[in-house]
Structure 1
Amino acid sequence: MKYKIIDKSQSEEIAKLAVCLTNEIIERTGIKHFDVDVPLAIDLCEKYVSNGIYHVMAAFDEDKIVGFGAICESHSLYAEGKFGIIQEFYVAPEYRSKEIGKFLIQAIVEFAKEQGWKRLELCTPPVPEFDRTVGFYKSNGFEITGGYKMKYEVA
């Protein structure tokens, strides 16, 4: 298995995996939290990767991407500077429980160190359907910091 930052040419593969992630969240919770638009996801991924505002660490089995973590930089006073946010993290179901996620997290941590980030943050739903996901992140060094992920629709 190889772990590396993708370039724009692999955006379509990443966008399709992100749609799988979105669909899995909808399926597990029974609530349509997101709209699923594959062409838009591909377009956004290409733009974000090209502009350098979205970094994607991918896990490769030969030439096939089987998992990814999408990371963006943010800044705050509470984090004492710049830090990374893992926006999406996904490993294809047939590749789970094979430590791919563990090594993907480790590769993202190394990338974060190279960027000079103070910390990494992520959000996972605090509902029983995601207890295993929370356990995975905790076993890989993340800690629960409390709160809820909230949104406000501007448009």
Structure 2
Amino acid sequence: MIRKATNLDLQMIQNHAAIVQQEATLGYMSGNPALINFDMMNHYKGEYYVIGDHQSIHGWILLGETPLPYEHEIVGMVLELYVLPQWRKHGYGKILMQYAIDFYKRKGFKRVQLNVFSGNPAKNLYDSLGFQDVSTLMERRI
């Protein structure tokens, strides 16, 4: 059900990049989302994994790793999670996130981190899986 993304999958993911970026960042990020995605893949040694059946992809997750800036430890990083609108409310986001947690456990990591914008409904999923706020980025427009 979950597999590493093929080149064909990556093209489909890239075609959805602008929509994903808009939804995930609630409109905060601009630029070329396709370049941002693939820059993240390279910077974080990321790999996409997709969920679906033989006919279609229902969603995907981008997994990477990063050193913690305040400790000498490499942690797993969920860089992107997306479920196509027609497949939402079927548990695919939770399945992908559980896959990520298990993936990092098998690699011997002790922590998994992710970044989520305030107001993103996916935060409820992350909370339900035991993720906790570590820091808060605040902003004021001037």
What TM-score do the two structures reach when normalised by structure 1?
Answer: 0.73
Matching residue within 21, 25, 29 for 1:33: 29
Q: Does 1:110 align with 2:102?
A: yes
Q: Is contact 1:79–1:119 with CA below 8 Å preserved after alignment? A: no
Q: Is contact 1:55–1:72 with CA below 8 Å preserved after alignment? A: yes
Change (3 A) 1:73 1:35: same
The Cα RMSD (Å) is 3.0
Structure 2 gaps, min length 5: none
How many positions carry a matched residue from both structures?
139
Worse overlay, 54-63 or 90-99: 54-63
- Determine what percentage of the aligned residue pairs are the same residue: 21
Q: What is the match of residue 10 of structure 2?
A: 11
**1:70-109, aligned counterparts within 5 Å?**
70-76=62-68, 78=70, 81-109=73-101
What TM-score do the two structures reach when normalised by structure 2?
Answer: 0.78
Q: Is contact 1:57–1:69 with CA below 8 Å preserved after alignment? A: yes
Question: SS in structure 2 opposite 1:126?
Answer: coil
Q: Does 1:142 align with 2:134?
A: no
Larger helix share, 1 or 2: 1
Could you give the per-residue CA deviations for residues 60-86 of structure 1, whole angstroms, max 9, x where no partner exists?
232422211111111126465211111
Q: Is contact 2:76–2:112 with CA below 8 Å preserved after alignment? A: yes
Q: Is contact 1:57–1:108 with CA below 8 Å preserved after alignment? A: no
